[in-house]
Amino acid sequence: SGKTHTIQLVADGYEPSEITIEKGDSVTFKTTLGKPFWPASNIHPTHGIYPEFDPQDAIAPDKTWSFKFTKVGRWRFHDHLAPYFTGRINVEG
């Protein structure tokens, strides 16, 4: 039921910063920075564009967070704790 893709937060930001996936695919977020992170939908700080795309809390640096994309669109995201780190997930139907 869909592939799983990985996006990693590193010193320079999210890698990859943009990906294209299929509806029903999941993205697993992780970090190498050794501190909590919080990937979420734009717009900062409300995450209102795709509110389900928000873990609702910071993720510990030794943990991951996965989200299954069920809506087609171009979904920009940021790190809620460091909003200058941004990216985009293009979901095709």
Tell me the pLDDT band of 45, cut-offs 50, 70 and 90. Answer: very high
Q: What is the pLDDT of residue 1?
A: 64
Residue-wise pLDDT for 52-86, tens only, equals 999 999 999 999 999 999 999 999 999 999 999 99
Cis ω for the linkage preceding 45 (within 30 of 0) = yes
Tell me the pLDDT band of 51, cut-offs 50, 70 and 90. Answer: very high
Closest CA to 53 of 38, 31, 34: 38
Give pTM, 2 decimals. Answer: 0.95
